[in-house]
Structure 1
Amino acid sequence: MYCISKKLEISAAHSLQLSYESKCSRMHGHNWQIEIFLVSRDKLNEDGMVEDFTHIKKAIHSKMDHANLNEIFDFNPTAENIGKWIVEQFDACYKVNIQESFGNTATVIDENKIKGIEFIVK
C-alpha cells in the first residue's frame, strides 16, 4: 500500500450564508492550511507515483489561491464543503484536513475510498 500527503497554504476570501447572525457572514479572508491524503492499495501510476505532488498543488492553487471562494464555488464555502470538494478532485484522495485559522480545522474523510483497506487513519 502507498500513502502520500501534501501540505499547502492558500490565501482566499469568503463569506458564509448562515442560518444565524455571525461575523462570518461578512466577506473576510484566511490563510488556509490544507493537508491532502491519498492512498493506493497496490499500484502506482506510470511515473511510479500515487499522484505527483506538483499536480496536487496546481489543482488546488489554480482554483482557490487569492480567490473569492463565493465566486468560484456553487456551494456555501465552509471549511467542510471545501474539504469535500478537494476529496472529490482526486480519485485516490480519501482525507483532507483544512484549517481556516488557528484552532479551527475541518476533517473530511471519504470512507468509500478506504473500504477494505486496513490501516489506521490518523
Structure 2
Amino acid sequence: MDTIKNDLYTRKLAEKWNFIRKFAAENTYRNMIYCISKRMEIAAAHQLRLSHESKCSRLHGHNWMVTVYLMSEELNEDGMVADFTSVKESIHGYLDHGYLNDLIDRNPTAENIAQWIVERIPQCYKAVVQESEGNTAMAVDERKIAGKESLVL
C-alpha cells in the first residue's frame, strides 16, 4: 500500500513540476531579450582593391580582433542564444589563416568583413572588426534590432 501511495505522490509531484515549468516558460520570460558576444582573434591576409594608391593594395595580413553580438527573444533547447563554440567555428574556423579575397564575396575591408559576418549568422545583429590598434569598423543590421536599439547597442 505504501508503494502505491509513493507512486501516486511521485506522479502528482511530477505533474505539478511540469505545470510549473510550462507556466514559467509561457509567462515568466515573455518580453525577455538575450544577448551574447563572442570575441576572437583571426590571423588572415588580404589585398584591398582601392580607387587610390595605398600600401594596403599590396598583399598583407593582420591579426584581426573580431567581436560578434547575437540576440534572441528565445533561448534554444539548451538554454542558449547560440553555442559559443559554433559561433566561433562559423567565423574563425572559416577565416583564420586564410586569404580573405578568396573567402568573402566582396572587397575585404574591415567594414565589409563586419557586414559579411552579420549576414552570415542569422542572430548576429552587430560585428566589430579591428584590423590593428586604432583601426576598427562596425556593422549593425538595423532590421534585426528594430525597436530594441537602446537595449542592444
Cα pair distance change 1:28/1:115, threshold 3 Å: same
Moved over 4 A (4+): none
Q: Any idea what SS the aligned residue of 1:63 has?
A: helix
Tell me which of 5, 8, 11 is aligned to 2:43.
11
Matched, 1:84 2:122: no
Q: Any idea what SS the aligned residue of 1:82 has?
A: helix
**What's the counterpart of residue 115 of structure 1?**
146
Matched, 1:100 2:131: yes
The Cα of 1:89 is off from its aligned counterpart by 1.5
Q: Any idea what SS the aligned residue of 1:56 has?
A: helix
The Cα of 1:74 is off from its aligned counterpart by 2.4
Q: Deviations over 1:1-59 (max 9, x none)?
A: 11100000000000100000000000000000001001112x11111110100001101
Cα pair distance change 1:98/1:118, threshold 3 Å: closer
Q: Deviations over 1:43-90 (max 9, x none)?
A: 111111101000011011221000011122221000111101100121
Instruction: Point out the structure with max Rg over C-alpha.
Output: 2
RMSD: 1.1
Matched, 1:20 2:52: yes
Structure 2 unaligned residues grouped into runs of 5+: 1-32
**What's the counterpart of residue 34 of structure 1?**
66
Higher share of residues assigned helix: 2
Higher share of residues assigned strand: 1
Cα pair distance change 1:113/1:23, threshold 3 Å: same
Structure 1 unaligned residues grouped into runs of 5+: none
**What's the counterpart of residue 59 of structure 1?**
90
Residue identity (%): 60
Which protein has greater RCO, CA pairs closer than 8 Å, 6+ apart? 1
